[in-house]
Amino acid sequence: MFDDRSPIYLQIADGIKNDVLSGALKEDEQVMSTNQYAAFYRINPATAAKGFAQLVDEGVLYKKRGIGMFVSPDARDKLRAARRERFFTEVVDPMLAEAKRVGIGVDEIVRHLGGAR
């Protein structure tokens, strides 16, 4: 489930963000408690709590005291906006760099993408 590339709490946060983006987690839907999450994924609850705290800080989740944590109503839109911003720098630019290394021209890429339309 988790790898060694980065702290687990960041991977937890990313996983939940992906679920929100994909719609697997809906607006105002309750997410697992840190203890449930820890037991399910076999991780330390403090690590899970840290991941959730990060999401609360970023506004993806909100807390209802004594009940649990829920997906913020605007979380999906905010995440989409942020990801769209990063799309070109994080996805397209590396692809272009790789294309250049192996000698694929932009025209060829555009043609390929045209096929995907």
Partner 1 sequence: MIELRDVTVRFGSTVAVDDVRLDLPTGKIYGLLGRNGSGKTSLLSALASYRRPTAGTVRFDGVDAFENPAVMRHTCFIRDTLDVSDSERVRAVLRVAGWMRPGWDADYAARLADLFELDPSKRVSALSRGRRSALGVVLGLASRAPLTILDETYLGMDAVARADFYRELLADYLAHPRTIILSTHLIEEVADLLERVVILDRGRVLLHAEADELRGRGIKVTGPDTVVADFAAGHHVLAEQSLGGVRAVTLDWRPAPDDVARGEAAGLTFGPVGIQDLFVHLTSPSQRLEALR
| Chain positions contacting partner 1, by CB under 8 A | 2-9, 35, 38-39, 41-47, 50, 94, 97
Q: Show Cβ contacts of residue 83 under 8 Å, excluding neighbours closer than 6 positions.
A: 21
Q: Tokens for 65?
A: 């005291």
Q: Min. distance of Cβ 11 from partner 1 in angstroms?
A: 9
Residue closer to partner 1, measured from CB, 3 or 115: 3
Q: Min. distance of Cβ 36 from partner 1 in angstroms?
A: 9
Q: Min. distance of Cβ 52 from partner 1 in angstroms?
A: 13
Residue closer to partner 1, measured from CB, 24 or 39: 39
Residue closer to partner 1, measured from CB, 34 or 72: 34
Residue closer to partner 1, measured from CB, 5 or 84: 5
Partners of 61 in the beta sheet?
71
Q: How far apart are CA 23 and CA 49, in angstroms?
A: 22
Longest dimension (CA), the chain: 58
Q: Min. distance of Cβ 103 from partner 1 in angstroms?
A: 16
How far apart, in Å, are the Cα atoms of 46 and each of 43, 73, 103?
Answer: 9, 26, 48
